[in-house]
Structure 1
Amino acid sequence: MRNVRILSLALLLSACGTDTADRVARARSEIAGMELAAARVDLAAALAERGDDAELLRLLASVQLRLGDGDGAEATAARLERTGATGAELARMRAEAALLRGRAREALALLGNDATTGGWRVRAAALSAVGDGEGAFRALQSGLAAGSDPLLLRDMARFLIDAQDLDGAQRQVDALARMQDDGFDALMLSADIAARRGRYAQAHATLERAAKRYPRIPDPWIARADAYDREGKLDEAVAMTARAAALAPDDPRVTNLKVEFAAMKGDWEAVRTALARQEATLDPLSANGLTYAEAMLRLGRPEQARAMFQRALTRSPNNPYSRLMLAEAHLATGNAVAALETVRPLAQSLTAGPRELELAEKAARAANSGEADALAARLAAVRKSQVSALAAKGQAALVGEDWNGAIEAYGQLAQMGEDADVLKRLALALSHAGRVDEAIRAADRARTLRPGDPDMSYMAGYVRVAGGKDKATGLGLLRHATESAPDNLVFKRALARYSAAGGA
């Protein structure tokens, strides 16, 4: 009997070993396929069976960090330390975990003088988190100088995309692709850059490759939905969202797309249902926060909508959507005077469309304002005139990087009357076309017309630093824009990108 028990125990232990090996092999395959949540489960199970194996703990921590699970990574690092692990690798792991837990300064302290590519990458992220964009960019540059690292190239590409330096970002992606043929980050970033440039066929082709290479994750389908949304192809975007939902129905990104597209279709009850449980925690300036506020307005709760849009506009005074919707909410609550005051800055712009002018006219008539007839005349003219066509042509040219086409369209608009928004767009197109002096003149004039608008300061600074002229003034203007709108990521990234010596 004793021998039978020993044999049974041996067979059980052998089976456990086989199961553990299978779990580890499956986890490695899942990591290669970017099925990181599944890999985390398998690795945790393998560790429960095998005990604290240092190699598996390192693998689990890398997965947790990639998933943004700072608490899990810190717990794994503590287990790894108990196995006797020490040194820079463990400190770097803990630093990245601290960063993910919102402790950026602790992360910097943990890194110390770590000069590895991984150390520079985490340091850049931590510096960015504490608001030092220039230091973050220099850290990324230092990391690239120290050696080639896929995650570092990924982060530099993302940084440059946010700084609107798409050429620089593409160079990082090309280097990443050379290191990892059909790698996930290279494919996704390449498609993102193509979509931002209006090269949608290229973006979709790249994302189709990504979907075939990584068939069990929703990311390529989510990105295709975003690309179709940029193109204005709503039905196709909804179809791509459904493909993503089939793989990951509870993914917050999928939920966000469903909300966005329901709003575009006018299904406000679906928006309310999807977001009602999040109402207390919704950021008023987030896409979901603004969409939920509009749902309240459309579903007959204008006072609730008014309060939400007021909070959003207070935090971001130059957000045209918040301004337009607050005016509509004021009108719905019977305050026509406030509605007219709110929408007037939008209606006065040469680029004002029918929606802005129609709301302004309606508010003016309800408030018995003498502006109503003039607004009605402008509305009729805009619906027929060249202004709308030129504005649409100019916007399409900017999206497609047809700089000469944008210059032609916005140049004609500028001749019809001075308008800050028109001049800002003209300056951007002139800058990309290499006509730096003209770009500076247009941007400066836009800033004169609207001196308190950080968008105008940004453009006046951007055309200088991007064109290599009067960099000191340009950086000062970018810094002013960033200080005036501290939540604007484009402003911060551009300031960091052009403040740092050299380039990527």
Structure 2
Amino acid sequence: MRARGAWIGALCGAALLAGCGGPRPQDPRATLEERRAELRDAIADDPAALDARTELARVAIALHDGVAAEAAVKAALAAGGNAEVLRPLLARAYAMQGDGRRALQTLDAGPIAAEAIGEAAWVAGDVHLDNGDLGAARDAFDRAVRELPRESALWVDVARFRDANADTLGARDAVDYAIELDPQNSGALALKANLVRTQQGLVAALSWYDKALAIDPDNAGALIDQAATFGDLGRYRDMLAALRRAAAVTPGDPRLYYLQAVLAARADDYQLARSLLQRTRGEMDDQPGFMLLSAVVELQLGGEAVAASWAERLLMAQPDNGTARRILAAANWADGDADGAGEALAPLVARADADSWS
């Protein structure tokens, strides 16, 4: 279909939407790594140093190293550590490795020390939130906040929960409180950027990403979200720079491959875009932006049947997605299915504001 080339660039933009100078500041991760080395030395000098082992686990958690955290907690337990205190840390380590089921089993395996109840509830809230069980997450976070009312990082997760629950004002209040408690919380500032992006627009979010990255230049989540925002604004050079920095911090993150595929598609390199999408290994297959971009790329490469399949999957999740309908129609038409093309476009043609292409 010759007409499809006229709107393919706009579709790549829709796929993306669906989905400073000066010295480098001190890297918080470098500080944590230094502390980790100190603790390992202390443990080597005194294998019975339980406090050092427990702190080592917390440092690993702060570094998002769930495997090391698990090892540190288990070593502390083997050295005689209090299981009632350490159980929430072990559960956190499992949750960080993506094993929420084992995390909850660990919390339920025995009593929790009074001083660790808030942490245990916090872990449970995060797992339930990731599982989409918002009712259980609410109960867990309520208890966690009662126990740890001034924990900035906890309030970031409360903001995530409220945002997932469509409580826009509540999410804003929670993240603002997290920043009030700890103005140096890069994660809180990055989440603030995401909320501002949704509520106030792309340009307004950029200064918040800058603030988050000024504190932690290696905040991979902030870099990836900043890159997506640059892409939405058409600032592709800035997008590429942010992606390169993120790739140095978290190589292999599927979001990197997706956003790089967006750039490749914008440059009409659809073979490269397909290769990059395949490198996500299915981890983003349920994301609307990923489905849309996959449909665009396959359509451009002559894979009409595959393009139609992606478009149909997207329409199952978003029946009113007009872009997906146009792609489905183009794929059906190119595959010789005129009736299928007409059926795909019928809901758009029936609209009073139907576009001329449909």
| Normalised-by-shorter TM-score class | 0.7 to 0.9
Shift of 1:155: 0.5
What does residue range 77-96 of structure 1 map to in structure 2 within 5 Å? 77-96=73-92
The sequence identity of aligned pairs, in percent, is: 25
What does residue range 2-17 of structure 1 map to in structure 2 within 5 Å? none
Instruction: Please tell me whether residue 76 in structure 1 is matched to residue 72 in structure 2.
Output: yes
Alpha-carbon distance in 2 for matches of 1:176, 1:244: 24
- Residue aligning to 1:144: 145
- Residue aligning to 1:33: 28
What residue identity is the alignment partner of 2:311? F
Alpha-carbon distance in 2 for matches of 1:251, 1:223: 13
Contact 2:77/2:83 (8 A) holds in 1: no
After superposition, the C-alpha distances for 1:374-400 in whole angstroms (9 at most, x for unaligned) are xxxxxxxxxxxxxxxxxxxxxxxxxxx
Instruction: Please tell me whether residue 225 in structure 1 is matched to residue 224 in structure 2.
Output: no
Shift of 1:206: 2.7
- Residue aligning to 1:292: 294
- Which secondary structure does the structure 2 equivalent of 1:262 belong to? helix
- Residue aligning to 1:338: 340
C-alpha distance 292-98 of structure 1, shift in aligned 2 (>3 A): same
- Residue aligning to 2:119: 118
- Which secondary structure does the structure 2 equivalent of 1:81 belong to? helix
- Residue aligning to 1:58: 54
- Residue aligning to 1:127: 128
Shift of 1:72: 4.4
After superposition, the C-alpha distances for 1:318-340 in whole angstroms (9 at most, x for unaligned) are 55444432222212211111121
**Number of residue pairs matched?**
327
| Most deviating of 64-73 and 83-92 | 64-73
Shift of 1:196: 1.7
- Which secondary structure does the structure 2 equivalent of 1:197 belong to? helix
What residue identity is the alignment partner of 2:144? G
Contact 1:259/1:288 (8 A) holds in 2: no
Shift of 1:119: 2.1
Contact 1:284/1:309 (8 A) holds in 2: no
C-alpha distance 131-203 of structure 1, shift in aligned 2 (>3 A): closer
What residue identity is the alignment partner of 1:153? W
What does residue range 193-208 of structure 1 map to in structure 2 within 5 Å? 193-208=195-210
What does residue range 14-413 of structure 1 map to in structure 2 within 5 Å? 33-34=28-29, 42=37, 46=41, 53-66=49-62, 70-99=66-95, 100-103=98-101, 105-110=104-109, 116-129=117-130, 131-146=132-147, 147-245=149-247, 250-278=252-280, 283=285, 285=287, 287-314=289-316, 317-350=319-352, 352=354, 354=355, 357-358=356-357, 360=358
What residue identity is the alignment partner of 1:304? V
Greater share of residues in helix: 1
| Most deviating of 44-53 and 261-270 | 44-53
- The structure having more radius of gyration, on CA atoms, is 1
What residue identity is the alignment partner of 2:118? T
After superposition, the C-alpha distances for 1:107-126 in whole angstroms (9 at most, x for unaligned) are 55247567732122112223
Alpha-carbon distance in 2 for matches of 1:55, 1:167: 40
C-alpha distance 311-221 of structure 1, shift in aligned 2 (>3 A): closer
After superposition, the C-alpha distances for 1:345-365 in whole angstroms (9 at most, x for unaligned) are 23433455x4xx51x3xxxxx
What does residue range 421-460 of structure 1 map to in structure 2 within 5 Å? none
Higher relative contact order (CA 8 A, sep 6+): 2
Shift of 1:313: 3.9
Contact 1:94/1:107 (8 A) holds in 2: yes
Give me the CA root mean square deviation.
3.6
| Most deviating of 101-110 and 170-179 | 101-110
C-alpha distance 50-339 of structure 1, shift in aligned 2 (>3 A): farther
- Which secondary structure does the structure 2 equivalent of 1:334 belong to? coil
What residue identity is the alignment partner of 2:335? T
- Which secondary structure does the structure 2 equivalent of 1:215 belong to? coil
Alpha-carbon distance in 1 for matches of 2:283, 2:190: 30
- Which secondary structure does the structure 1 equivalent of 2:258 belong to? helix
Which TM-score applies when normalising by structure 1?
0.55
Contact 1:121/1:139 (8 A) holds in 2: yes
C-alpha distance 86-261 of structure 1, shift in aligned 2 (>3 A): same
Contact 1:111/1:123 (8 A) holds in 2: no
Shift of 1:243: 4.4
C-alpha distance 315-50 of structure 1, shift in aligned 2 (>3 A): farther
| Most deviating of 57-66 and 332-341 | 57-66
Structure 1's unaligned 5+ residue stretches are 1-28, 361-504
Structure 2's unaligned 5+ residue stretches are 1-24
Which TM-score applies when normalising by structure 2?
0.75
Alpha-carbon distance in 1 for matches of 2:62, 2:159: 17
After superposition, the C-alpha distances for 1:246-304 in whole angstroms (9 at most, x for unaligned) are 65555443333212233344331221232335567762545435423431221122223
Contact 2:128/2:134 (8 A) holds in 1: yes
Contact 1:127/1:133 (8 A) holds in 2: yes
Shift of 1:154: 1.0
